[in-house]
Structure 1
């Protein structure tokens, strides 16, 4: 089926590239100036998750901490407004943790329970390095797989696109100052894994169409790629919407500890669907088109 009357993704590829470049540049600038909002997992400190057993406001929780001269860097309310999350940039001692618990019990009653998460500077550095290694290893493994399964042009386009997806999630978290923690890293890795699935679906159709097409010009290549995208569009949309719906439900109805993971997944899924069509496919088109242009043209035979 010919999809020439549909939206031409190859013709508008520069618009897509511009949108992505602008977003990533803004993310780089914000990250360079302000850095990422690292949670306790990636910097030394103590995190407290306190269930007070009743509805509480952020202001009331902050008053309790102020009353004992222990002011956290971040205080948030979650759950059914009965869950207080407090993040300290210092490592609290056992006495300070007991002091906070006693103050909470005194204010809210005996139903108070708390969970403590403490990370030392050495562990924070180790987690940061392992996060970088994990993303790098996943990217290299995917690149090798796609190179073996398809060809190097597909692999290069795919790896650039999935790195784009990871950077988009990081940029959005940097711009809006969301907390970066271990669930965020899990979301990045699952985004990379899911993103490559979309790209493989499109690339597999491109490869199949190449077997039955004669590509003689740039326009032929553009038509083939646009047709391949539209032939797989319904499957990709349905798949993304299904997973996206689950991620949105986790964000809306999930506990406070999983909300940032769900948010990172929502951003990553959206970026992955976008990059499969608007970044990876045009990149492969540019690489393949360059190989067509480099082929020697047959010289005319003089009579």
Structure 2
């Protein structure tokens, strides 16, 4: 694809945009914190399906009748017909409380299907799950650094990891902003995004490496030209690939059911962020680092004779 504009020269604006989003995410996190599911904190998750569109007020009254307060963020409504209610409570429910909730459901929603489904997590299990999730993400990042460093060079590896961290911060910022629940499916989505994003980045890095063999840059300007050309040569492939996967993710979000909605939502945000970072963040970072070992302009001893 013929270059439409110089991506590398405009990289400072892309860096500024990403920095602004990251800072906004950190501020939101400091103010609101994460909305963690019962996978990562002790608590109970109750899910039930009714025969009509879920009435938030009616569900809250149902739990208040058994002495339980849902709170502002404890109720989530899902399903294509919005007929599935998911309630999260901070404490562990006793068998007696579960039975009371079951009886209250029969009273408030007599035509409800399948009864209630209760998942309870104790503090130790929640803490262990959170630790394993963090280690899984760190291990994935470490192996990616090793692979890219061996396949290409260390500078490519660091640029790729910075782009991946960028994607993670974007997804986390969106989840904090919209108060989306962070559960195990979110971790699965984050690992999927890491794999997809680094794959797209490696394709671009590979094209840069091939072009560097043909047009060996002698100064910063020629290096920028090679990278800019490489980015536009892979632009169509990157956009078409992310668009195809994005269509599937959007369809899953609307028709895949409430149980995977957080997964697909994170996937949608991560796919967009991953495509953006692969093109506009990873390669310009490598150029900025690689440029330090090159002169700004090639000096020749040739003198033009008039």
CA deviations on 1:236-261 (whole Å, 9 max, x unpaired) are 11110011111111111121111111
Question: CA separation in 2, counterparts of 1:273 and 1:110?
Answer: 46
Matched, 1:109 2:110: yes
Matched, 1:97 2:68: no
Question: CA separation in 1, counterparts of 2:17 and 2:181?
Answer: 25
| Equivalent residue number for residue 88 of structure 1 | 89
285-294 vs 231-240, greater mean Cα deviation: 285-294
**Runs of 4+ in structure 1 over 6 Å off:** 294-300
Asked if the contact 1:40–1:47 (Cα under 8 Å) also holds between the matched residues in 2, the reply is yes
Report the alpha carbon displacement of residue 214 of structure 1 after superposing the two structures with TM: 2.5
| Equivalent residue number for residue 76 of structure 1 | 76
Report the alpha carbon displacement of residue 55 of structure 1 after superposing the two structures with TM: 3.0
**1:1-303 alignment runs, 5 A limit:** 3-4=2-3, 6-73=4-71, 74-79=74-79, 80-109=81-110, 111-112=112-113, 113-293=115-295
Report the alpha carbon displacement of residue 54 of structure 1 after superposing the two structures with TM: 3.2
SS at match of 1:40: coil
Instruction: Structure 2 unaligned segments of length 5 or more: list them.
Output: none
Asked if the contact 2:8–2:224 (Cα under 8 Å) also holds between the matched residues in 1, the reply is yes
Report the alpha carbon displacement of residue 52 of structure 1 after superposing the two structures with TM: 2.2
TM-score by length of 2: 0.93
SS at match of 2:63: helix
Question: CA separation in 2, counterparts of 1:231 and 1:169?
Answer: 28
Report the alpha carbon displacement of residue 81 of structure 1 after superposing the two structures with TM: 2.4
Question: CA separation in 1, counterparts of 2:15 and 2:224?
Answer: 17
Question: CA separation in 2, counterparts of 1:223 and 1:290?
Answer: 16
Report the alpha carbon displacement of residue 183 of structure 1 after superposing the two structures with TM: 0.6
Question: CA separation in 1, counterparts of 2:67 and 2:12?
Answer: 55
SS at match of 1:42: coil
Report the alpha carbon displacement of residue 72 of structure 1 after superposing the two structures with TM: 2.0
Instruction: Structure 1 unaligned segments of length 5 or more: list them.
Output: none
SS at match of 1:41: coil
Asked if the contact 2:48–2:112 (Cα under 8 Å) also holds between the matched residues in 1, the reply is no
Question: CA separation in 1, counterparts of 2:36 and 2:120?
Answer: 14
Asked if the contact 1:52–1:104 (Cα under 8 Å) also holds between the matched residues in 2, the reply is no
TM-score by length of 1: 0.93
Question: CA separation in 2, counterparts of 1:35 and 1:54?
Answer: 33
Asked if the contact 2:219–2:297 (Cα under 8 Å) also holds between the matched residues in 1, the reply is no
211-220 vs 49-58, greater mean Cα deviation: 49-58
Question: CA separation in 1, counterparts of 2:279 and 2:53?
Answer: 46
Question: CA separation in 1, counterparts of 2:96 and 2:167?
Answer: 44
Asked if the contact 1:218–1:289 (Cα under 8 Å) also holds between the matched residues in 2, the reply is yes
SS at match of 1:87: strand
Alignment: residue pair count: 298
